[in-house]
Copies of this chain bind each other. A is one copy, B any other.
Amino acid sequence: MDNKKKQILLAERPIGTPDNNTFQFVETGIGQPENGEVLLRTLYVSVDPYMRGRMIDTPSYVAPYELNKVIEGGVIGEVIESKSDHFTQGDVVIGGYGWQTYYTAKETEVRKIDKDIAPISTHLGILGMTGLTAYFGLLEIGKPKEGETVVISGAAGAVGSVVGQIAKIKGARVIGIAGSDEKIQYLTEELHFDEAINYKTTSSLKKDLTKACPNGVDVYFDNVGGEISDAVLAHINKFARIPICGAISSYNLEGHDLGPRVQSTLIKKSALMQGFTVGDFANQFPEGSVSLAKWLQEGKLQYQETIKEGFENIPDAFLDLFKGNNIGKLLVKVADQSS
């Protein structure tokens, strides 16, 4: 076993796109667990767009990261030493302790996961935060009815790809918007979306939407914001529902995110636009997890992961999120599971 652990700290708050100066790698002693604690070795680290928001010092739904502290986020770890009655060596757990290779956790800080229902990495994705985000945002805010049209931006991402499949399960017509031909092919051929539009190569997103949505848009699940959302808004139907999950197009903007104001459209269409984060539905997580696991086991949900290897590649993996290179959940594998 190593006797040092690696950590990645927030070295400075980024303005615009984060770069190498944003992060600092350090090493420190691993330490010993005390009673009620477990020593964890990190297996997978999650990188997610929302983390960009925590890097700046503006009030949001979660506290900003502290400077010179480890960057927190979802992690899958393995118990390598336990001083807790609730865990034994070899248990695999999920926690939020972030970008470090080892961590001494209080037993209340982490939760054991079932290693058998699916690969353990899925607990950071389709069976975890991003799957639940898709589930609750679509079903609690979007509320698609059979035969309605659901449009999803960032459709090939960790959340969007699940949203579309759940919408299909609910009998909706599903149109995905994504940024590469590989993603378009994935959405239509693997996930059986009814249509998918490559916003980077289209000559007119509006025209493509008109063609793909002959009956208008009833639900628009928005992961990106910006001009893509402006275009979709022009197609919404009366009583449309618009869950606002992300606005990745704006996260690295240095100036204001200016665009057409939405108020008049919302009035004309009696439409609802609601921002949310998965934590808003925390007391319904058990229900969501059960449904997702069931659909996964029944083969009704597919998933894809983009897995980078190596702790030192975490910052690059994070930056890849904003380049739109990943399909499905983007993860970094830090170590092999020993058991």
Contact = CB atoms under 8 A, between A and B. Distances in A.
B261 A257 contact: yes
A222 B239 CA distance: 18
Contacts of A256: 260
Q: Is the interface of A mostly helix, strand, loop or mixed?
A: mixed
**Copies of this chain, whole number:** 2
Contact of A250 (B239, B257, B261, B266): B261
A260 B244 CA distance: 16
A289 interface: no
A321 to B, nearest CB: 16
A60 interface: yes
A260 B258 contact: yes
A269 B273 CA distance: 12
Contacts of A274: 266, 270-274
Interface in A283-308: none
Nearest to A230: B261
A280 B270 CA distance: 8
A275 B280 CA distance: 22
B264 A247 contact: yes
A59 B262 CA distance: 16
A238 interface: yes
A25 interface: no
A261 B244 CA distance: 12
